[in-house]
């Protein structure tokens, strides 16, 4: 089980442009690694746009924002373009990283069970260790909560 203080699982995923991105590319920076269910859906759009709106604050403290969902790079590219998102979205179509980060879970809607992404955010420190985990994220105010957690030493 992943816990705060442990080394973050490594990964290599395609970004919205089809380029490989891995965790080790960001050593020396704090990383906001947020997992979300689906591009261009109400909650996911609201979450992405709140990170977008506060992007300069994250940039000022040397933090990188990476969004991860099972959507394709092409879907991510459209989502970024539609909402002018200034950060990278990663595609995990095989759900390997979603499973490594323990966010691919059984969900239940209207009595129907299915597998999906549980909205979760990890803050990973400059050395690749998990600094903070936000499970079952509620979108409202989450960007501020993440910013505060990064700024705590």
Helix (H, G, I), strand (E, B) or coil at 42: helix
Per-residue pLDDT, averaged over 2-6, amounts to 95
For the stretch 73-122, pLDDT in tens is 999 999 999 999 999 999 999 999 999 999 999 988 899 999 999 999 99
* 67: confidence class by pLDDT, cuts 50, 70, 90: very high
Question: CB burial class (10 A; 0-12, 13-18, 19+) of residue 101?
Answer: buried
pLDDT reading at 153 higher than 70: no
Catalytic residue among 8, 44, 103, 137: 44
Spatial contact of 55 and 64, defined as CB atoms under 8 Å apart = no
Distances, alpha carbon 18 to alpha carbons 13, 65, 73, 92, 151, in Å: 9, 18, 6, 12, 32
The radius of gyration computed from the CA coordinates of the chain, to the nearest angstrom, equals 14
- Is 44 noted as a catalytic residue in this protein? yes
Q: What is the pLDDT of residue 39?
A: 96
48 contacts 16 by C-beta, under 8 angstroms:
no
pLDDT score of 109 = 82
Tokens of 118: 């549980």
Four-way CATH pick for 13-151: 3.40.30.10, 3.40.50.1860, 3.30.930.10, 3.40.50.1110: 3.40.30.10
Q: What integer is the mean pLDDT of 11-15? A: 97
Q: pTM (2 decimals)?
A: 0.95
Confidence of residue 127 (pLDDT cuts 50, 70, 90): very high
């Amino acid at each position: 089980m992943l816990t705060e203080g442990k080394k973050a699982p490594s990964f290599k995923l395609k970004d919205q442009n089809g380029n490989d991105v891995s965790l080790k590319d960001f050593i020396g920076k704090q990383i906001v690694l947020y997992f979300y269910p689906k591009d261009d859906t109400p909650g996911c759009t609201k979450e992405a746009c709140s990170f977008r709106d506060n992007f300069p604050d994250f940039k000022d403290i040397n933090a990188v924002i990476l969004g991860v969902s099972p959507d394709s790079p092409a879907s991510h590219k459209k989502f970024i373009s539609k909402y002018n998102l200034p950060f990278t979205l990663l595609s995990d179509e095989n759900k390997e990283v979603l499973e490594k980060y323990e966010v691919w879970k059984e969900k239940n809607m209207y009595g129907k069970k299915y597998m999906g992404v549980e909205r979760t955010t990890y803050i990973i420190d400059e050395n690749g260790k998990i600094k903070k985990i936000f499970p079952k994220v509620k979108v409202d105010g989450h960007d501020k909560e993440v910013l505060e957690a990064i700024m705590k030493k």
